Chain A
Amino acid sequence: MDGRTILILCEKPDAAARLAKALNEAGKVRERKLKGVPYYEASRDGNKLIVISALGHLYTIAPKIEDRDVYPVFDFYWAPRYEVERNSGQTRKWIEAISRLSKDAQEYVLATDYDIEGATIGYTVLKYACGGKDTEAKRMKFSTLTADELRKSYEKMLPHIEFSTAEAGMCRHLVDAIYGINLSRAMTTAAKRWSGKYTTISTGRVQGPTLKFLVEREKEINTFVPTPYWTVKALIEIGGSTYEAEYEKKSIGILEEANSIVHACAGKIGTITKIDVRKTRQNPPTPFDLSSLQTEAYGLFRYTPRRTSNIAERLYLEALISYPRTSSQKLPPAIGYRGILEALSRQPAYKDLTSDLLERGDLVPNEGPKRDPAHPAIYPTGNLPERTLSDPERRLWDLIVRRFMAVFGEPAVRQSVKVAIEIDGHRFYLRGRQILKEGWMRFYKPYVRFEDVLLPQLEEGDEVRVKRVIREDKFTKPPPRYNPSSLLKKMEKEGIGTKATRADIIETLYSRGYISGESIAVSYLGFDVVEILDGYCPQIISVEFTRDLEEKMEMIQSGSEKMERVVGKAVEYLKPVLEELKNREREIGKALSESIRKARMEERTVGQCPVCGTGKLVILRSRRTKKRFIGCTNFFEGICKTSFPLPQKGSLKPLRKDCKLCGWPLIQVRSRGRRPWNLCFNPECPSKERSKRS
């Protein structure tokens, strides 16, 4: 071949394979390996294309001083990941392979994801692994991995990579490292110097404020005192059926008043005084951006934001959906609505729905207000799966397809009926609701949460029999705990983190042991980390500070701010904080060590001792036999000798749930190669009887 050799760099191996296949013109794509790293050889326009992928980030920001006891550190550099991170050994092969292949190339094309992380990955690889080819490289921009779009993107390549986006990305990595490494080292070192034991205590620029949201909510919940109130309902008999009518006041704050309403209305005849019928139009939903997809998937399937993000990434890499890390709620006509719908009609489940939309003259999506300069909202490409999708993948794809169809639907029309019933001078309301016209709901049906409540034919002046009047005792409720989805929404609302990082930050809070459970509870350790930061350097966990930095970093991307200035300001801000932390290292170390001790104890605590009622049952290990067992903390006081044997293999975790049969606390046992199982250690539990019989 006389043409030139062009090196195309993708972000993930699957994308490289798809890109090579889409661009290849003559013969078959050759899959080759260098040092075990796959790459693809294709040809186009007489040129030889070498398509290789990175493996996510191949380079990372690292401090020049490696000693973890030393802080503050402000000198950082971009290092190959294998040099500074554990378990990143395979990035060495990748860097070496890219470096070797780049030497034979005359042209360079960056085809990583078109966003801040993609630009950063591409820039660092081109600069460090390819020997400064960042200035020569051209850029492919695409939002789907369909063959058609990849070819178009190759034909209309941008003349250079997006330097300002890469600068913004590098700035984010640098600022996050400066904050994360220094603050984490300060806290970890303080605890280690006090207790002599090493435990990683991490915090960061976004992690700290996020944990603070949770701590504030935890405080509200833990200091909450419920107050009583009452509701009154009348059971009304109409045409042999019974309907529930609510008292006009939704909550009654005085018990006597509630009782007097019940006495006055019981056994009386009610008169219908007014029937109010209202029709409301409900517009179609807006297209999915990443965060609304994560919220919907959590609400419908209970997938965590990170899980949704991972599944969506797989669907994108299989060219089934467009790029998911987008904050856009716009669907530009250029994506070709009709083409996508026609392609989707090949799937039997969507045939009728798509033909319904295709029969219309004009297709106009109901777009939301959010924009993203790099990508449109998430939409199906029209490609059908080439393999059998797993259940979660199939569900998410179906959700995205149906949402795409729904945004083109007509408004739904709902009717609500409110019937006023007068009973002995008291007013009650009977409410009904119904969908009159399905509109967009027809397309989004399995995921629409709406239930019709039908009322019989009634007229004003009709008399109805009051069958019973019921008083219900109620209490005000504490604010709900955050779950991964609502926490992600809160972060988005407060403007901290990015669509690409929020889900990972939440996972980090779990993995550090700061939070637990789907309905998120904060541990002692999480609590104390925030208390300490709040006490000694409140500015570090202030939302305003974090948001301000986010805005500055966005300004770098748009070219109105410089990385050096943003980093300089961040360092200036952090220096006195670190000095203060160092000066008060002893007291911080003492507080953190105490909190770590409590956290360890909390991890081992199974629940209240059901025998003595005052002690706590904890997982212990016998000094003599080295076997583990459950014992009561009151044993050390000489009050309670309760103990129970435990399985000696596998890991044990208190479940914080009680056995349904005997009410004793449960433990989860996990061993390799077996499903986790729940153990009730009460020897008298009826479950033991059942297993003996079987």
Chain B
Amino acid sequence: MKCEICGRRAESRFCELHKRAQENLREKYEEWKRAMDITWEEYLREVLKNPLTGLWVKEVARILLASSEEKEAPSMQEKV
């Protein structure tokens, strides 16, 4: 299987590197939720436009934003 983003070898949707970026992205959402009133989708947009965000995180965020099932993930849709 190949990574959806970079074409590297992958065991699931993403390669090791993009998977790590995705894990960080999910983990940090909890901190963002605690810090400010923000939905998963708003969070992804904020992260995407932030110049300090890592390149691979941005690539994952872009894909997640584009894929509707991720946007509609119920656990992520709730506001604080």
Asked if A and B are interacting partners, one says yes
Listed in ascending order, the chain A residues whose CB lies under 8 Å from chain B are 219, 221-229, 253-255, 475-478
Contacting A226 at CB < 8 Å: which of B17, B34, B36, B53?
A: B53
Q: CA–CA, A579 to B71, complex, Å? A: 48
Contact B52 A222 (CB under 8 A): no
Contact B35 A254 (CB under 8 A): yes
Contacting residues, chain B, for A255 (C-beta < 8 A): 35-37
Q: CA–CA, A254 to B50, complex, Å? A: 19
Contacting A222 at CB < 8 Å: which of B17, B27, B35, B37?
A: B17
Q: CA–CA, A223 to B23, complex, Å? A: 9
Q: CA–CA, A477 to B54, complex, Å? A: 10
Contact A222 B57 (CB under 8 A): yes
Contact A223 B21 (CB under 8 A): yes
**Closest chain A residue, CB of each to CB of B37:** A255
Contact A478 B35 (CB under 8 A): no
Min distance, Cβ A323 to any Cβ of chain B, angstroms:
44
Q: CA–CA, A227 to B43, complex, Å? A: 10
Q: CA–CA, A281 to B54, complex, Å? A: 41
Contacting residues, chain A, for B57 (C-beta < 8 A): 222-225
Contacting A478 at CB < 8 Å: which of B17, B21, B28, B52?
A: B52
Asked whether A227 and B31 contact (CB < 8 A) given A219-B17, A255-B36, the answer is yes
Contacting residues, chain B, for A476 (C-beta < 8 A): 52
Contact B52 A224 (CB under 8 A): yes
Q: What mask results when residues 39 to 67 of chain B are scored 1 for a CB within 8 Å of chain A, else 0?
A: 00000000100101111110000000000
Contacting residues, chain B, for A229 (C-beta < 8 A): 35
Contact A253 B56 (CB under 8 A): no
Min distance, Cβ A534 to any Cβ of chain B, angstroms:
11
Q: CA–CA, A255 to B34, complex, Å? A: 9
Contact B21 A227 (CB under 8 A): no
Contacting B17 at CB < 8 Å: which of A223, A225, A475, A477?
A: A223
Min distance, Cβ B28 to any Cβ of chain A, angstroms:
4
Contacting residues, chain B, for A478 (C-beta < 8 A): 52, 54
Residue pairs across A and B with Cβ atoms less than 8 A apart, 18 shown, are: A219-B20, A221-B55, A222-B55, A224-B24, A224-B52, A224-B57, A225-B25, A225-B27, A225-B54, A226-B47, A226-B50, A227-B31, A253-B34, A253-B35, A255-B35, A255-B36, A475-B50, A478-B54
Min distance, Cβ B35 to any Cβ of chain A, angstroms:
5
Quick one: which of A222, A225, A229 has the most chain B CB within 10 A?
A225
Min distance, Cβ B36 to any Cβ of chain A, angstroms:
5
Contacting residues, chain A, for B20 (C-beta < 8 A): 219, 223
Min distance, Cβ A418 to any Cβ of chain B, angstroms:
28
Known: A225-B25, A227-B35, A228-B35. 18 other contacts (CB 8 A): A219-B20, A222-B21, A222-B56, A222-B57, A223-B24, A223-B54, A223-B57, A224-B52, A225-B24, A225-B27, A225-B57, A226-B47, A226-B50, A228-B32, A254-B35, A255-B36, A475-B52, A477-B52
Contacting residues, chain A, for B54 (C-beta < 8 A): 221-225, 478
Contact B34 A225 (CB under 8 A): no
**Closest chain A residue, CB of each to CB of B56:** A222
Contacting residues, chain A, for B28 (C-beta < 8 A): 225, 227
**Closest chain B residue, CB of each to CB of A253:** B35
Contact B55 A225 (CB under 8 A): no
Q: CA–CA, A227 to B38, complex, Å? A: 13
Determine the main DSSP class of B at the interface with A.
Answer: helix
Q: CA–CA, A223 to B36, complex, Å? A: 22
Min distance, Cβ B25 to any Cβ of chain A, angstroms:
6
Q: CA–CA, A226 to B54, complex, Å? A: 9
Q: CA–CA, A222 to B20, complex, Å? A: 10
Q: What mask results when residues 10 to 34 of chain B are scored 1 for a CB within 8 Å of chain A, else 0?
A: 0000000100110011011001101
Q: CA–CA, A478 to B28, complex, Å? A: 13
Q: Lowest 8 CB-CB distances: which A-B pairs, in order? A: A225-B28, A222-B54, A224-B54, A226-B52, A222-B56, A223-B21, A255-B36, A227-B31
Min distance, Cβ B60 to any Cβ of chain A, angstroms:
9
Q: CA–CA, A477 to B27, complex, Å? A: 16
Min distance, Cβ B43 to any Cβ of chain A, angstroms:
10
**Closest chain A residue, CB of each to CB of B19:** A223
Contact A228 B47 (CB under 8 A): no
Contacting residues, chain B, for A225 (C-beta < 8 A): 24-25, 27-28, 47, 53-54, 57
Min distance, Cβ A478 to any Cβ of chain B, angstroms:
6
Min distance, Cβ B4 to any Cβ of chain A, angstroms:
16
Q: CA–CA, A225 to B26, complex, Å? A: 10
Quick one: which of B25, B36, B37, B50 has the most chain A CB within 10 A?
B36
Q: CA–CA, A226 to B27, complex, Å? A: 11
Min distance, Cβ B33 to any Cβ of chain A, angstroms:
11
Contacting B56 at CB < 8 Å: which of A223, A227, A254?
A: A223
Contacting residues, chain B, for A254 (C-beta < 8 A): 34-36
Q: CA–CA, A223 to B20, complex, Å? A: 7
Q: CA–CA, A170 to B26, complex, Å? A: 53
Q: CA–CA, A475 to B49, complex, Å? A: 13
**Closest chain B residue, CB of each to CB of A473:** B36
Q: CA–CA, A219 to B17, complex, Å? A: 8
Q: CA–CA, A221 to B17, complex, Å? A: 12
Contact B53 A224 (CB under 8 A): yes
Q: CA–CA, A222 to B17, complex, Å? A: 9
**Closest chain B residue, CB of each to CB of A594:** B7
Contacting residues, chain A, for B53 (C-beta < 8 A): 224-226
Contacting residues, chain A, for B52 (C-beta < 8 A): 224, 226, 475-478
Q: CA–CA, A228 to B55, complex, Å? A: 18
**Closest chain B residue, CB of each to CB of A220:** B54
Q: CA–CA, A255 to B57, complex, Å? A: 24
Q: CA–CA, A628 to B32, complex, Å? A: 48
Q: CA–CA, A223 to B61, complex, Å? A: 11
Contacting residues, chain A, for B35 (C-beta < 8 A): 227-229, 253-255
Min distance, Cβ A463 to any Cβ of chain B, angstroms:
34
Q: CA–CA, A562 to B56, complex, Å? A: 48
Min distance, Cβ B1 to any Cβ of chain A, angstroms:
15
**Closest chain A residue, CB of each to CB of B46:** A228
Min distance, Cβ A61 to any Cβ of chain B, angstroms:
37
Quick one: which of A227, A229, A253, A254 has the most chain B CB within 10 A?
A227
Q: CA–CA, A475 to B35, complex, Å? A: 11
Q: CA–CA, A477 to B52, complex, Å? A: 6
Min distance, Cβ A115 to any Cβ of chain B, angstroms:
42
Q: CA–CA, A224 to B34, complex, Å? A: 19
Q: CA–CA, A230 to B32, complex, Å? A: 12
